[in-house]
């Protein structure tokens, strides 16, 4: 294959496009990535999970409490008194 200035220019243009695409991709990643200060530590994640678990437990107990009250109300309405 005979290499001419046009061939070299074409190759450089193609590589330049690839470099530009790569530069844009890296720029996008850098722009959107979290900084060290924005990321949570392992201890923070565990603390958050503990809070979520506690809230979930509270919600479950509230549902059961409400259910017990509603069943008691129904029993009183149907049977005249609660069975518990």
Question: What is the structure's pLDDT at 50?
Answer: 94
Q: Report the C-alpha gap between 5 and 11 in whole angstroms.
A: 10
pTM of the model: 0.40
Same domain for 40 and 77, yes or no, is yes
Same domain for 42 and 79, yes or no, is yes
User: For every one of its 84 residues, what pLDDT tens digit does the chain have, with 9 covering 90 and above?
Assistant: 678 888 878 888 888 888 888 888 988 988 888 888 888 888 999 999 999 999 888 887 777 777 888 888 899 899 988 876
Question: What is the structure's pLDDT at 49?
Answer: 93
Same domain for 1 and 29, yes or no, is yes
Same domain for 51 and 25, yes or no, is no
Nearest to 4 by CA among 19, 12, 17, 20: 12
Residues of the domain holding 27: 1-33
Same domain for 16 and 44, yes or no, is no
């Amino acid at each position: 294959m005979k290499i001419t200035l046009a061939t070299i220019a074409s190759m450089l243009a193609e590589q330049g496009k690839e470099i530009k695409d790569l530069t844009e991709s890296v720029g996008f990643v850098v722009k959107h990535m979290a900084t060290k200060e924005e990321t949570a530590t392992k201890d923070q994640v565990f603390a958050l999970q503990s809070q979520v678990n506690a809230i979930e437990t509270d919600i479950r107990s509230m549902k059961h409490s409400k259910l017990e009250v509603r069943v008691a109300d129904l029993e009183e309405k149907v049977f005249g008194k609660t069975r518990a």
